[in-house]
Copies of this chain bind each other. A is one copy, B any other.
Amino acid sequence: MPKRRSTSFDVARLAGVSRTTVSFVLNNVPGVNISEATRQRVLEAARQLNYHPNAMGRKLVSGRSNTLGLVLRQSPEQVFADAALLRVMLGIEHAVAQQGFHVLLKPVPPDDNSGYLRLIEENHVDGIILSGPRQDDYEIVTLHRQGVPIMLMGQLPDSEIPFVDIDTIASSAMAVRHLIEQGYRQIAMITNASLTYTSAQQRYAGFRKALEEAGIEFQETWLREGSYTPASGFEAMADLLRQPQRPRAVFVASDVVALGALQALKQAGLRIPEDIAVVGFDDIPFAEYCDPPLTTVHLPAYGLGWAAGERLVRLVLNEGLRETGLLLDAKLVVRKSSICQ
Contact = CB atoms under 8 A, between A and B. Distances in A.
A56 B123 CA distance: 7
A323 B107 CA distance: 30
Contacts of A291: 262-263, 266, 290-291
Interface of A: 1, 3, 5, 50, 52-57, 59-60, 65, 67, 70, 76, 79-83, 85-87, 89-90, 93-94, 102-107, 118, 121-124, 146-147, 230, 234, 256, 259-260, 262-263, 266, 285-286, 288-291
A105 B91 CA distance: 12
27 contacts: A5-B121, A52-B118, A53-B122, A54-B122, A55-B65, A55-B124, A56-B60, A59-B59, A67-B104, A80-B86, A80-B90, A81-B285, A85-B86, A93-B105, A102-B106, A102-B124, A103-B106, A104-B104, A230-B285, A230-B288, A256-B286, A259-B286, A260-B289, A262-B291, A266-B291, A290-B291, A291-B291
A107 B90 contact: yes
Nearest to A124: B55
Nearest to A63: B56
B80 A121 contact: no
B1 A146 contact: yes
Nearest to A83: B83
Contacts of A122: 52-55
Given A55-B124, A263-B289, 14 more contacts: A1-B146, A3-B147, A52-B122, A54-B123, A55-B65, A56-B59, A59-B59, A70-B105, A80-B86, A82-B86, A104-B104, A259-B286, A259-B289, A263-B291
Contact of A104 (B1, B103, B146): B103
A1 B54 CA distance: 33
B79 A86 contact: yes
A76 B56 CA distance: 30
A210 B310 CA distance: 51
B80 A93 contact: no
A107 B83 CA distance: 17
Nearest to A62: B56
A67 B102 CA distance: 12
A93 B81 contact: no
Given A60-B60, A266-B291, A289-B262, A123 B5 contact: yes
Contacts of A289: 230, 234, 259-260, 262-263
A1 B80 CA distance: 39
A262 B52 CA distance: 51
Contacts of A65: 55-56
Contacts of A93: 105-107
B105 A89 contact: yes
Which of A60, A85, A94, A266 has the most CB atoms of chain B within a 10 A radius of its CB?
A60
A70 to B, nearest CB: 7
A121 B266 contact: no
A54 to B, nearest CB: 5
